[in-house]
Structure 1
Amino acid sequence: MINVVVPLTLPAKETEDTGHAEPRPFIPVSGRPLVQHVVDNIRPSFEHQFIYVVDPEVMTMHRRRSLGISSDSQVVYSWSAPRTMAAAVCMARESINMSEPLVIAACEQYIDVDLDRFYIAGMDVGADAAVLTFPGDRTPKYSTSMIYKNRVVEMSEHRVISEMANAGVYYFKDGQTFFDAAVEALTKTHAADSALTMSGIFNTLIEAGSNIVPCPLPEGVFKPLHTSIDLSLFAARTDLQVQRAA
Protein backbone atom coordinates (compact mmCIF):
# COMPACT_ATOMS: atom_id res chain seq x y z
CA MET A 1 0.00 0.00 0.00
CA ILE A 2 1.14 3.56 -0.74
CA ASN A 3 0.73 6.29 1.86
CA VAL A 4 -0.06 9.62 0.16
CA VAL A 5 0.45 12.66 2.38
CA VAL A 6 -1.14 15.96 1.32
CA PRO A 7 -0.19 18.90 3.58
CA LEU A 8 -2.96 21.51 3.72
CA THR A 9 -1.44 23.66 6.46
CA LEU A 10 0.85 25.86 4.38
CA PRO A 11 0.01 29.47 3.51
CA ALA A 12 -0.77 30.26 -0.13
CA LYS A 13 2.54 31.77 -1.24
CA GLU A 14 1.36 33.25 -4.50
CA THR A 15 -2.41 33.18 -4.57
CA GLU A 16 -3.48 36.61 -5.73
CA ASP A 17 -6.86 38.17 -4.96
CA THR A 18 -9.23 35.35 -5.84
CA GLY A 19 -12.37 36.88 -4.40
CA HIS A 20 -12.67 33.98 -1.95
CA ALA A 21 -12.26 33.92 1.81
CA GLU A 22 -11.57 30.18 1.70
CA PRO A 23 -8.03 28.84 2.16
CA ARG A 24 -6.62 27.85 -1.22
CA PRO A 25 -7.28 24.06 -0.94
CA PHE A 26 -10.98 24.80 -0.39
CA ILE A 27 -11.52 27.44 -3.07
CA PRO A 28 -14.39 26.24 -5.28
CA VAL A 29 -13.31 25.41 -8.82
CA SER A 30 -15.97 24.19 -11.25
CA GLY A 31 -18.29 23.32 -8.38
CA ARG A 32 -15.75 21.40 -6.30
CA PRO A 33 -13.06 22.41 -3.80
CA LEU A 34 -9.62 22.65 -5.38
CA VAL A 35 -8.30 19.90 -3.12
CA GLN A 36 -10.74 17.40 -4.64
CA HIS A 37 -9.35 18.05 -8.13
CA VAL A 38 -5.79 17.61 -6.88
CA VAL A 39 -6.55 14.44 -4.91
CA ASP A 40 -8.38 12.83 -7.83
CA ASN A 41 -5.37 13.67 -9.99
CA ILE A 42 -2.78 12.05 -7.73
CA ARG A 43 -4.91 9.11 -6.56
CA PRO A 44 -3.19 5.75 -7.30
CA SER A 45 -5.29 3.02 -8.93
CA PHE A 46 -3.91 0.47 -6.47
CA GLU A 47 -4.17 0.18 -2.68
CA HIS A 48 -3.43 3.47 -0.97
CA GLN A 49 -4.17 5.67 2.01
CA PHE A 50 -4.50 9.46 1.89
CA ILE A 51 -3.24 11.38 4.92
CA TYR A 52 -4.23 15.04 5.11
CA VAL A 53 -2.30 17.34 7.45
CA VAL A 54 -4.59 20.21 8.39
CA ASP A 55 -4.77 23.25 10.64
CA PRO A 56 -7.54 22.58 13.20
CA GLU A 57 -8.33 26.28 13.40
CA VAL A 58 -9.48 26.38 9.77
CA MET A 59 -10.86 22.83 9.48
CA THR A 60 -14.59 23.44 9.79
CA MET A 61 -17.01 20.54 9.45
CA HIS A 62 -17.87 21.77 5.94
CA ARG A 63 -14.23 21.76 4.89
CA ARG A 64 -13.67 18.36 6.43
CA ARG A 65 -16.60 16.99 4.41
CA SER A 66 -15.17 18.57 1.28
CA LEU A 67 -12.09 16.37 1.65
CA GLY A 68 -14.32 13.39 0.92
CA ILE A 69 -13.00 11.50 3.94
CA SER A 70 -13.45 7.76 3.45
CA SER A 71 -12.01 4.48 4.66
CA ASP A 72 -8.84 5.10 2.63
CA SER A 73 -7.95 8.40 4.31
CA GLN A 74 -6.97 10.00 7.61
CA VAL A 75 -6.89 13.55 8.88
CA VAL A 76 -3.97 14.66 11.06
CA TYR A 77 -4.40 17.92 12.98
CA SER A 78 -1.28 20.04 13.34
CA TRP A 79 -1.52 22.52 16.19
CA SER A 80 1.84 23.98 15.30
CA ALA A 81 2.38 26.00 12.14
CA PRO A 82 4.80 24.08 9.90
CA ARG A 83 6.55 26.43 7.49
CA THR A 84 7.36 23.83 4.86
CA MET A 85 5.85 20.79 3.18
CA ALA A 86 8.50 18.53 4.71
CA ALA A 87 7.79 19.84 8.21
CA ALA A 88 4.06 19.29 7.72
CA VAL A 89 4.67 15.67 6.72
CA CYS A 90 6.59 15.12 9.96
CA MET A 91 3.39 16.00 11.83
CA ALA A 92 1.84 12.85 10.34
CA ARG A 93 4.57 10.47 11.46
CA GLU A 94 2.26 8.34 13.63
CA SER A 95 -0.08 7.74 10.69
CA ILE A 96 2.60 6.75 8.17
CA ASN A 97 3.69 3.12 7.85
CA MET A 98 7.49 3.16 7.96
CA SER A 99 7.83 0.08 5.74
CA GLU A 100 5.45 1.14 2.95
CA PRO A 101 6.02 3.50 0.01
CA LEU A 102 5.40 7.17 0.73
CA VAL A 103 4.20 9.84 -1.70
CA ILE A 104 4.13 13.51 -0.72
CA ALA A 105 2.09 15.91 -2.84
CA ALA A 106 1.45 19.63 -2.71
CA CYS A 107 -2.04 21.02 -3.27
CA GLU A 108 -0.99 23.57 -5.88
CA GLN A 109 -0.59 21.64 -9.12
CA TYR A 110 -2.43 19.46 -11.61
CA ILE A 111 -0.47 16.90 -13.64
CA ASP A 112 -2.20 16.12 -16.92
CA VAL A 113 -1.03 12.48 -17.13
CA ASP A 114 -1.75 9.19 -15.38
CA LEU A 115 0.48 9.35 -12.29
CA ASP A 116 0.41 5.58 -11.81
CA ARG A 117 3.41 5.61 -14.14
CA PHE A 118 5.32 7.72 -11.65
CA TYR A 119 4.51 5.52 -8.66
CA ILE A 120 5.22 2.29 -10.52
CA ALA A 121 8.46 3.65 -12.00
CA GLY A 122 9.77 4.47 -8.54
CA MET A 123 9.07 0.94 -7.35
CA ASP A 124 10.16 -0.89 -10.50
CA VAL A 125 13.61 0.71 -10.77
CA GLY A 126 14.36 0.22 -7.10
CA ALA A 127 14.71 3.93 -6.42
CA ASP A 128 15.23 5.15 -2.88
CA ALA A 129 13.30 8.27 -3.87
CA ALA A 130 11.97 9.96 -6.99
CA VAL A 131 10.72 13.38 -8.02
CA LEU A 132 8.41 14.55 -10.79
CA THR A 133 10.09 17.26 -12.85
CA PHE A 134 9.00 19.52 -15.70
CA PRO A 135 10.70 22.05 -18.01
CA GLY A 136 10.86 25.24 -15.94
CA ASP A 137 11.46 28.86 -16.87
CA ARG A 138 14.65 29.27 -14.81
CA THR A 139 13.02 31.49 -12.20
CA PRO A 140 13.23 30.77 -8.45
CA LYS A 141 9.46 30.22 -8.40
CA TYR A 142 9.98 26.45 -8.16
CA SER A 143 12.61 24.23 -6.58
CA THR A 144 14.86 22.64 -9.19
CA SER A 145 16.77 19.39 -9.68
CA MET A 146 20.13 18.92 -11.35
CA ILE A 147 20.13 15.67 -13.31
CA TYR A 148 23.13 13.67 -14.53
CA LYS A 149 22.91 10.27 -16.21
CA ASN A 150 19.26 9.91 -15.22
CA ARG A 151 19.97 10.56 -11.56
CA VAL A 152 19.19 13.56 -9.40
CA VAL A 153 22.57 14.78 -8.17
CA GLU A 154 21.43 17.97 -6.43
CA MET A 155 18.18 19.72 -5.50
CA SER A 156 17.77 23.38 -4.67
CA GLU A 157 14.88 25.15 -2.98
CA HIS A 158 15.46 28.79 -3.90
CA ARG A 159 18.42 28.79 -6.29
CA VAL A 160 17.93 27.83 -9.93
CA ILE A 161 20.46 25.08 -10.70
CA SER A 162 18.90 23.59 -13.83
CA GLU A 163 16.05 23.89 -16.30
CA MET A 164 14.20 21.03 -14.60
CA ALA A 165 11.75 22.32 -12.00
CA ASN A 166 10.12 20.10 -9.39
CA ALA A 167 6.40 19.49 -9.85
CA GLY A 168 5.49 19.14 -6.16
CA VAL A 169 5.07 15.35 -6.09
CA TYR A 170 7.73 13.20 -4.40
CA TYR A 171 8.16 9.45 -3.90
CA PHE A 172 10.11 7.57 -1.21
CA LYS A 173 10.55 3.80 -1.19
CA ASP A 174 9.26 3.76 2.40
CA GLY A 175 8.41 6.10 5.22
CA GLN A 176 11.60 5.23 7.08
CA THR A 177 13.73 6.59 4.24
CA PHE A 178 11.99 9.97 4.47
CA PHE A 179 12.13 10.29 8.25
CA ASP A 180 15.73 9.11 8.59
CA ALA A 181 16.78 11.70 6.01
CA ALA A 182 14.66 14.36 7.72
CA VAL A 183 16.43 13.80 11.04
CA GLU A 184 19.83 13.87 9.33
CA ALA A 185 18.95 17.01 7.35
CA LEU A 186 17.99 18.87 10.51
CA THR A 187 21.47 18.27 11.92
CA LYS A 188 23.14 19.73 8.83
CA THR A 189 23.16 23.03 7.02
CA HIS A 190 20.56 21.63 4.60
CA ALA A 191 18.00 22.79 7.15
CA ALA A 192 18.76 26.48 6.65
CA ASP A 193 17.29 28.66 9.42
CA SER A 194 15.99 25.45 11.02
CA ALA A 195 13.51 25.03 8.14
CA LEU A 196 13.20 21.45 6.97
CA THR A 197 12.76 21.37 3.19
CA MET A 198 12.24 18.68 0.59
CA SER A 199 15.49 19.80 -1.05
CA GLY A 200 17.36 19.34 2.21
CA ILE A 201 15.98 15.83 2.59
CA PHE A 202 16.82 14.87 -0.99
CA ASN A 203 20.33 16.32 -0.74
CA THR A 204 20.89 14.32 2.43
CA LEU A 205 19.91 11.14 0.57
CA ILE A 206 22.12 12.09 -2.38
CA GLU A 207 25.15 12.60 -0.12
CA ALA A 208 24.50 9.16 1.39
CA GLY A 209 24.69 7.59 -2.08
CA SER A 210 20.98 6.88 -2.43
CA ASN A 211 19.44 6.22 -5.83
CA ILE A 212 17.32 9.30 -6.60
CA VAL A 213 15.44 9.10 -9.90
CA PRO A 214 13.89 11.98 -11.87
CA CYS A 215 10.59 11.40 -13.67
CA PRO A 216 10.46 14.13 -16.33
CA LEU A 217 7.09 15.31 -17.57
CA PRO A 218 6.47 16.40 -21.17
CA GLU A 219 6.11 20.10 -21.97
CA GLY A 220 2.71 21.50 -21.00
CA VAL A 221 1.63 18.63 -18.74
CA PHE A 222 2.30 20.49 -15.48
CA LYS A 223 -0.49 22.93 -14.61
CA PRO A 224 0.27 25.35 -11.74
CA LEU A 225 -2.55 26.28 -9.38
CA HIS A 226 -0.84 29.14 -7.57
CA THR A 227 -2.49 32.35 -8.71
CA SER A 228 -5.98 33.57 -9.53
CA ILE A 229 -5.08 33.39 -13.23
CA ASP A 230 -3.93 29.77 -12.80
CA LEU A 231 -7.21 28.89 -11.11
CA SER A 232 -9.30 30.63 -13.77
CA LEU A 233 -7.49 28.80 -16.57
CA PHE A 234 -7.89 25.49 -14.78
CA ALA A 235 -11.60 26.11 -14.18
CA ALA A 236 -12.17 26.99 -17.85
CA ARG A 237 -10.36 23.84 -18.95
CA THR A 238 -12.30 21.68 -16.49
CA ASP A 239 -15.64 23.17 -17.55
CA LEU A 240 -14.79 22.52 -21.20
CA GLN A 241 -13.99 18.88 -20.46
CA VAL A 242 -17.32 18.49 -18.65
CA GLN A 243 -19.18 20.00 -21.60
CA ARG A 244 -17.46 17.69 -24.07
CA ALA A 245 -18.27 14.67 -21.94
CA ALA A 246 -21.95 15.62 -21.67
Structure 2
Amino acid sequence: MAGRGSRLRPHTLTVPKPLIPIAGKPIVQRLVEDIAGVLDEKIDEVAFIISEDFGQEIENKLTEVAKNLNAKPSIYYQDKPLGTGHAIMCAKESLSGPAVVAYADTLFKADFTLDKDADAVMWVKQVDNPSAFGVVQLNDDNHIVDLVEKPEEFVSDLAVIGIYYFKDVALLKSKLEEVIEENIMRGGEYQINDGIDKMRAEGRVFKPGKVDEWMDCGNKTVTVETNQRMLNFIHADQKENLISDSVKIENSEIIEPCFIGENVVLKNAKIGPHVSLGNNTVVENTEMKNSLVQENAEIKNAKLDNAMIGNFAKYNGEFTAISIGDYSVLE
Protein backbone atom coordinates (compact mmCIF):
# COMPACT_ATOMS: atom_id res chain seq x y z
CA MET A 1 0.00 0.00 0.00
CA ALA A 2 2.96 2.32 -0.66
CA GLY A 3 1.30 4.21 -3.51
CA ARG A 4 -0.54 7.48 -2.95
CA GLY A 5 -3.54 6.61 -5.14
CA SER A 6 -3.30 9.25 -7.84
CA ARG A 7 -6.60 8.17 -9.45
CA LEU A 8 -8.44 9.01 -6.23
CA ARG A 9 -7.06 12.52 -5.82
CA PRO A 10 -7.76 14.95 -4.20
CA HIS A 11 -8.86 12.55 -1.45
CA THR A 12 -5.44 10.86 -1.31
CA LEU A 13 -3.38 14.03 -1.12
CA THR A 14 -3.53 13.93 2.69
CA VAL A 15 -4.61 10.34 3.41
CA PRO A 16 -3.34 7.13 1.73
CA LYS A 17 -6.02 5.40 -0.31
CA PRO A 18 -6.25 2.30 1.94
CA LEU A 19 -7.23 4.54 4.86
CA ILE A 20 -10.18 6.14 3.03
CA PRO A 21 -13.27 5.08 5.04
CA ILE A 22 -15.89 2.83 3.48
CA ALA A 23 -19.11 2.62 5.52
CA GLY A 24 -17.23 4.08 8.48
CA LYS A 25 -14.08 1.91 8.43
CA PRO A 26 -10.81 2.36 6.52
CA ILE A 27 -10.52 0.18 3.41
CA VAL A 28 -7.47 -1.66 4.76
CA GLN A 29 -9.19 -2.41 8.09
CA ARG A 30 -12.19 -3.93 6.31
CA LEU A 31 -9.87 -5.94 4.06
CA VAL A 32 -7.83 -7.34 6.95
CA GLU A 33 -10.96 -8.20 8.95
CA ASP A 34 -12.59 -9.91 5.96
CA ILE A 35 -9.47 -11.98 5.27
CA ALA A 36 -9.36 -12.95 8.94
CA GLY A 37 -12.97 -14.09 8.64
CA VAL A 38 -12.23 -16.33 5.65
CA LEU A 39 -9.13 -17.85 7.28
CA ASP A 40 -11.02 -18.51 10.53
CA GLU A 41 -7.83 -19.02 12.53
CA LYS A 42 -5.47 -16.96 14.69
CA ILE A 43 -3.36 -14.43 12.82
CA ASP A 44 0.12 -13.99 14.29
CA GLU A 45 1.26 -10.91 12.38
CA VAL A 46 -0.02 -8.24 10.02
CA ALA A 47 2.70 -6.57 7.94
CA PHE A 48 2.01 -3.35 6.05
CA ILE A 49 4.23 -2.19 3.17
CA ILE A 50 3.91 1.58 2.99
CA SER A 51 5.75 4.70 1.90
CA GLU A 52 7.98 6.19 4.60
CA ASP A 53 6.39 9.62 4.09
CA PHE A 54 2.98 8.36 5.27
CA GLY A 55 3.96 9.57 8.73
CA GLN A 56 3.62 8.38 12.32
CA GLU A 57 -0.12 9.03 12.60
CA ILE A 58 -0.84 6.66 9.71
CA GLU A 59 1.52 4.05 11.13
CA ASN A 60 -0.28 4.27 14.49
CA LYS A 61 -3.63 3.62 12.77
CA LEU A 62 -2.24 0.59 10.95
CA THR A 63 -0.71 -0.74 14.17
CA GLU A 64 -4.14 -0.50 15.79
CA VAL A 65 -5.70 -2.55 12.95
CA ALA A 66 -3.28 -5.41 13.67
CA LYS A 67 -3.63 -5.18 17.45
CA ASN A 68 -7.43 -5.39 17.15
CA LEU A 69 -6.83 -8.92 15.80
CA ASN A 70 -4.38 -9.66 18.64
CA ALA A 71 -1.64 -9.80 16.00
CA LYS A 72 1.87 -8.36 15.91
CA PRO A 73 2.00 -5.20 13.74
CA SER A 74 4.96 -4.75 11.38
CA ILE A 75 5.66 -1.73 9.20
CA TYR A 76 7.91 -1.92 6.13
CA TYR A 77 8.81 0.79 3.64
CA GLN A 78 8.92 0.59 -0.15
CA ASP A 79 11.17 3.46 -1.19
CA LYS A 80 10.73 3.08 -4.95
CA PRO A 81 7.64 2.07 -7.01
CA LEU A 82 9.21 -1.05 -8.46
CA GLY A 83 6.17 -3.30 -8.61
CA THR A 84 4.28 -5.87 -6.56
CA GLY A 85 7.15 -8.35 -6.37
CA HIS A 86 9.50 -5.67 -5.07
CA ALA A 87 6.89 -4.47 -2.54
CA ILE A 88 6.46 -7.98 -1.11
CA MET A 89 10.23 -8.39 -0.79
CA CYS A 90 10.37 -5.20 1.28
CA ALA A 91 8.72 -7.33 3.98
CA LYS A 92 11.11 -10.27 3.51
CA GLU A 93 11.77 -10.55 7.26
CA SER A 94 8.11 -11.56 7.72
CA LEU A 95 7.93 -13.98 4.79
CA SER A 96 7.76 -17.39 6.44
CA GLY A 97 5.05 -19.92 7.16
CA PRO A 98 1.43 -19.67 5.99
CA ALA A 99 0.53 -16.17 4.81
CA VAL A 100 -1.92 -14.09 2.83
CA VAL A 101 -0.65 -11.39 0.47
CA ALA A 102 -3.19 -8.71 -0.45
CA TYR A 103 -3.34 -5.41 -2.31
CA ALA A 104 -4.95 -2.89 -0.01
CA ASP A 105 -7.31 -1.14 -2.44
CA THR A 106 -9.73 -4.03 -2.93
CA LEU A 107 -12.66 -5.28 -0.86
CA PHE A 108 -14.47 -8.58 -1.25
CA LYS A 109 -17.23 -10.76 0.10
CA ALA A 110 -16.69 -14.50 0.19
CA ASP A 111 -18.06 -17.58 1.88
CA PHE A 112 -15.79 -20.52 1.14
CA THR A 113 -13.40 -22.85 2.96
CA LEU A 114 -9.78 -22.14 2.13
CA ASP A 115 -8.07 -25.23 0.65
CA LYS A 116 -4.99 -25.42 2.84
CA ASP A 117 -3.77 -28.58 1.11
CA ALA A 118 -2.88 -26.49 -1.92
CA ASP A 119 0.53 -24.85 -2.06
CA ALA A 120 -1.26 -21.60 -2.83
CA VAL A 121 -4.74 -20.17 -3.42
CA MET A 122 -5.51 -17.19 -5.62
CA TRP A 123 -8.76 -15.32 -5.00
CA VAL A 124 -10.68 -14.87 -8.26
CA LYS A 125 -14.01 -13.40 -9.35
CA GLN A 126 -16.09 -14.34 -12.38
CA VAL A 127 -16.34 -11.28 -14.64
CA ASP A 128 -18.27 -10.35 -17.77
CA ASN A 129 -15.31 -8.72 -19.59
CA PRO A 130 -12.22 -10.87 -18.95
CA SER A 131 -10.19 -9.03 -21.60
CA ALA A 132 -9.92 -6.12 -19.14
CA PHE A 133 -8.30 -8.22 -16.38
CA GLY A 134 -5.60 -10.71 -15.57
CA VAL A 135 -7.29 -14.12 -15.59
CA VAL A 136 -6.40 -17.67 -14.52
CA GLN A 137 -6.57 -20.74 -16.71
CA LEU A 138 -7.62 -23.99 -15.00
CA ASN A 139 -7.05 -27.65 -15.87
CA ASP A 140 -9.49 -30.51 -15.31
CA ASP A 141 -8.27 -30.88 -11.72
CA ASN A 142 -9.21 -27.25 -10.94
CA HIS A 143 -5.54 -26.31 -10.69
CA ILE A 144 -4.29 -22.96 -12.01
CA VAL A 145 -1.98 -23.69 -14.94
CA ASP A 146 -1.55 -20.20 -16.39
CA LEU A 147 -1.98 -16.49 -15.69
CA VAL A 148 -2.92 -14.40 -18.72
CA GLU A 149 -2.95 -10.61 -18.57
CA LYS A 150 -5.84 -8.98 -20.51
CA PRO A 151 -6.32 -11.86 -22.98
CA GLU A 152 -7.39 -10.87 -26.50
CA GLU A 153 -8.94 -14.32 -27.01
CA PHE A 154 -11.06 -16.07 -24.39
CA VAL A 155 -9.01 -18.00 -21.84
CA SER A 156 -11.20 -17.82 -18.76
CA ASP A 157 -13.66 -15.47 -17.07
CA LEU A 158 -12.00 -15.80 -13.63
CA ALA A 159 -10.20 -12.54 -12.86
CA VAL A 160 -7.41 -12.30 -10.28
CA ILE A 161 -8.43 -9.79 -7.59
CA GLY A 162 -5.04 -9.40 -5.89
CA ILE A 163 -5.37 -11.60 -2.79
CA TYR A 164 -3.24 -14.75 -2.41
CA TYR A 165 -2.75 -17.49 0.20
CA PHE A 166 0.58 -19.34 0.43
CA LYS A 167 0.97 -22.43 2.58
CA ASP A 168 4.63 -21.43 2.99
CA VAL A 169 5.29 -17.92 1.76
CA ALA A 170 9.04 -18.54 2.05
CA LEU A 171 8.74 -20.36 -1.30
CA LEU A 172 7.40 -17.20 -2.91
CA LYS A 173 10.18 -15.23 -1.23
CA SER A 174 12.88 -17.47 -2.74
CA LYS A 175 11.38 -17.20 -6.22
CA LEU A 176 11.01 -13.42 -6.01
CA GLU A 177 14.67 -13.27 -4.96
CA GLU A 178 15.46 -15.10 -8.22
CA VAL A 179 13.25 -12.70 -10.18
CA ILE A 180 15.13 -9.71 -8.80
CA GLU A 181 18.56 -11.34 -9.19
CA GLU A 182 17.76 -12.23 -12.82
CA ASN A 183 16.31 -8.73 -13.32
CA ILE A 184 13.04 -10.05 -14.75
CA MET A 185 10.96 -6.89 -15.16
CA ARG A 186 7.67 -6.00 -16.84
CA GLY A 187 7.07 -2.34 -17.54
CA GLY A 188 10.07 -1.49 -15.39
CA GLU A 189 8.70 -3.38 -12.38
CA TYR A 190 9.19 -6.70 -10.60
CA GLN A 191 5.88 -8.57 -10.54
CA ILE A 192 4.47 -11.19 -8.17
CA ASN A 193 3.29 -13.21 -11.18
CA ASP A 194 6.87 -14.03 -12.20
CA GLY A 195 7.51 -15.47 -8.74
CA ILE A 196 4.28 -17.45 -9.00
CA ASP A 197 5.27 -18.76 -12.44
CA LYS A 198 8.56 -20.02 -11.01
CA MET A 199 6.68 -21.80 -8.20
CA ARG A 200 4.32 -23.47 -10.68
CA ALA A 201 7.27 -24.53 -12.84
CA GLU A 202 8.49 -26.56 -9.86
CA GLY A 203 5.13 -28.31 -9.64
CA ARG A 204 3.58 -26.28 -6.83
CA VAL A 205 -0.23 -26.55 -6.86
CA PHE A 206 -2.23 -23.32 -7.16
CA LYS A 207 -6.01 -23.42 -6.75
CA PRO A 208 -8.68 -20.74 -7.16
CA GLY A 209 -10.74 -19.35 -4.30
CA LYS A 210 -13.87 -17.75 -5.72
CA VAL A 211 -15.34 -14.63 -4.11
CA ASP A 212 -18.98 -13.59 -4.36
CA GLU A 213 -18.31 -9.86 -4.56
CA TRP A 214 -15.26 -7.85 -5.59
CA MET A 215 -15.29 -4.12 -4.96
CA ASP A 216 -12.70 -1.70 -6.29
CA CYS A 217 -11.64 1.60 -4.69
CA GLY A 218 -9.50 2.85 -7.55
CA ASN A 219 -11.20 6.17 -8.28
CA LYS A 220 -13.92 8.42 -6.90
CA THR A 221 -16.82 6.92 -8.86
CA VAL A 222 -16.12 3.27 -8.01
CA THR A 223 -15.27 4.18 -4.39
CA VAL A 224 -18.70 5.81 -3.92
CA GLU A 225 -20.25 2.72 -5.55
CA THR A 226 -18.28 0.42 -3.23
CA ASN A 227 -19.52 2.43 -0.25
CA GLN A 228 -23.11 1.82 -1.45
CA ARG A 229 -22.58 -1.91 -1.86
CA MET A 230 -20.84 -2.27 1.50
CA LEU A 231 -23.68 -0.43 3.26
CA ASN A 232 -26.13 -2.88 1.68
CA PHE A 233 -24.11 -5.88 2.89
CA ILE A 234 -23.71 -4.56 6.44
CA HIS A 235 -27.37 -3.57 6.67
CA ALA A 236 -28.43 -7.06 5.55
CA ASP A 237 -26.01 -8.85 7.93
CA GLN A 238 -26.90 -6.59 10.89
CA LYS A 239 -23.47 -7.32 12.41
CA GLU A 240 -22.42 -3.67 12.67
CA ASN A 241 -24.22 -0.71 14.13
CA LEU A 242 -24.31 1.80 11.28
CA ILE A 243 -25.94 4.77 13.02
CA SER A 244 -24.33 6.21 16.14
CA ASP A 245 -26.46 6.90 19.21
CA SER A 246 -24.85 10.35 19.47
CA VAL A 247 -26.35 11.68 16.21
CA LYS A 248 -28.28 14.91 16.72
CA ILE A 249 -31.37 15.00 14.49
CA GLU A 250 -33.54 18.08 13.99
CA ASN A 251 -36.37 17.96 11.47
CA SER A 252 -34.44 15.42 9.41
CA GLU A 253 -34.93 12.00 7.78
CA ILE A 254 -32.49 9.10 7.37
CA ILE A 255 -33.26 6.58 4.61
CA GLU A 256 -31.28 3.41 5.30
CA PRO A 257 -28.83 1.94 4.67
CA CYS A 258 -26.54 4.75 5.85
CA PHE A 259 -23.49 5.04 8.09
CA ILE A 260 -23.76 8.01 10.46
CA GLY A 261 -20.71 8.56 12.71
CA GLU A 262 -20.27 9.99 16.19
CA ASN A 263 -21.62 13.48 17.00
CA VAL A 264 -23.02 14.12 13.53
CA VAL A 265 -25.59 16.94 13.36
CA LEU A 266 -28.50 16.72 10.90
CA LYS A 267 -30.71 19.80 10.58
CA ASN A 268 -33.47 20.07 7.98
CA ALA A 269 -31.79 17.26 6.08
CA LYS A 270 -32.79 14.21 4.09
CA ILE A 271 -30.00 11.65 4.12
CA GLY A 272 -29.86 8.41 2.13
CA PRO A 273 -30.00 5.88 0.93
CA HIS A 274 -26.32 4.86 0.64
CA VAL A 275 -24.68 7.76 2.48
CA SER A 276 -21.70 7.58 4.86
CA LEU A 277 -21.13 10.57 7.14
CA GLY A 278 -17.93 10.67 9.21
CA ASN A 279 -17.64 11.77 12.83
CA ASN A 280 -18.44 15.39 13.77
CA THR A 281 -19.95 16.26 10.39
CA VAL A 282 -22.72 18.87 10.17
CA VAL A 283 -25.37 18.65 7.44
CA GLU A 284 -27.96 21.41 7.16
CA ASN A 285 -30.73 22.21 4.64
CA THR A 286 -29.47 19.40 2.44
CA GLU A 287 -30.67 16.35 0.53
CA MET A 288 -27.99 13.71 -0.01
CA LYS A 289 -27.87 10.19 -1.41
CA ASN A 290 -25.21 7.81 -2.79
CA SER A 291 -22.40 9.83 -1.20
CA LEU A 292 -19.32 9.45 0.97
CA VAL A 293 -18.33 12.18 3.45
CA GLN A 294 -15.32 11.93 5.77
CA GLU A 295 -14.94 13.52 9.20
CA ASN A 296 -15.52 17.09 10.48
CA ALA A 297 -17.15 18.26 7.24
CA GLU A 298 -19.78 20.99 7.01
CA ILE A 299 -22.43 20.78 4.27
CA LYS A 300 -25.22 23.30 3.80
CA ASN A 301 -27.89 24.16 1.22
CA ALA A 302 -27.00 21.27 -1.06
CA LYS A 303 -28.63 18.56 -3.10
CA LEU A 304 -26.00 15.87 -3.56
CA ASP A 305 -25.89 12.57 -5.41
CA ASN A 306 -22.67 10.61 -6.12
CA ALA A 307 -20.57 13.02 -4.04
CA MET A 308 -17.29 12.41 -2.20
CA ILE A 309 -16.20 15.02 0.36
CA GLY A 310 -13.00 15.06 2.44
CA ASN A 311 -12.13 15.78 6.07
CA PHE A 312 -12.75 19.31 7.40
CA ALA A 313 -14.24 20.37 4.03
CA LYS A 314 -16.94 23.04 3.88
CA TYR A 315 -19.50 23.00 1.10
CA ASN A 316 -22.36 25.42 0.46
CA GLY A 317 -23.73 25.36 -3.05
CA GLU A 318 -25.86 23.94 -5.80
CA PHE A 319 -23.56 21.42 -7.53
CA THR A 320 -24.64 17.78 -7.36
CA ALA A 321 -21.95 15.19 -8.20
CA ILE A 322 -18.93 16.73 -6.51
CA SER A 323 -15.49 15.52 -5.42
CA ILE A 324 -13.65 17.81 -3.01
CA GLY A 325 -10.68 16.96 -0.83
CA ASP A 326 -9.65 17.67 2.76
CA TYR A 327 -9.83 21.25 4.06
CA SER A 328 -11.45 22.54 0.84
CA VAL A 329 -13.98 25.39 1.18
CA LEU A 330 -16.76 26.05 -1.38
CA GLU A 331 -19.17 28.72 -0.15
Do the structures match in fold with TM over 0.5? yes
TM-score if structure 1 supplies the norm length? Answer: 0.79
The 8 Å contact of residues 2 and 78 in structure 2, kept in 1 or not, is answered as no
Structure 2: runs of 5 or more not aligned: 242-331
Q: 1:113 aligns with which of 110, 113, 125?
A: 110
Partner residue of 2:51?
Answer: 55
User: Is 2:195 the partner of 1:201?
Assistant: yes
How far is 1:32 from its partner?
2.5
Q: Secondary structure at the match of 2:54?
A: coil
Taking the TM superposition and a 5 Å limit, the aligned residue runs for 1:14-163 are: 14-15=7-8, 18=11, 21-43=14-36, 44-48=39-43, 49-61=45-57, 63-67=58-62, 68=64, 69-70=66-67, 71-78=70-77, 80-96=79-95, 98=96, 100-114=97-111, 117-118=113-114, 121=115, 123=116, 126-136=117-127, 137-140=129-132, 142-149=133-140, 150-157=142-149, 159=151, 161-163=155-157
Within 2, Cα distance between the matches of 1:230 and 1:89?
A: 26
Partner residue of 2:179?
Answer: 185
The 8 Å contact of residues 33 and 66 in structure 1, kept in 2 or not, is answered as no
How far is 1:198 from its partner?
1.9
Q: Over alpha carbons, which structure has the higher Rg?
A: 2
Sequence identity percentage: 17
RMSD of equivalent CA atoms:
2.7
Worse-superposed segment, 102-111 or 79-88: 79-88
Q: Which structure has more helix as a fraction of its residues?
A: 1
One-letter amino acid of the structure 1 residue matched with residue 138 of structure 2: I
How many pairs align? 227
The 8 Å contact of residues 109 and 211 in structure 2, kept in 1 or not, is answered as no
Within 1, Cα distance between the matches of 2:40 and 2:2?
A: 26
TM-score if structure 2 supplies the norm length? Answer: 0.61
Structure 1: runs of 5 or more not aligned: 1-7
The 8 Å contact of residues 124 and 160 in structure 2, kept in 1 or not, is answered as yes
Q: Which structure has more strand as a fraction of its residues?
A: 2
Given the superposition, is the C-alpha separation of residues 179 and 130 from structure 1 closer, same or farther in structure 2, using an over 3 Å criterion? same
How far is 1:181 from its partner?
1.6
Given the superposition, is the C-alpha separation of residues 241 and 103 from structure 1 closer, same or farther in structure 2, using an over 3 Å criterion? closer
Structure 1 residue ranges (4+ consecutive) displaced by more than 6 angstroms after TM superposition: none
Given the superposition, is the C-alpha separation of residues 138 and 190 from structure 1 closer, same or farther in structure 2, using an over 3 Å criterion? farther
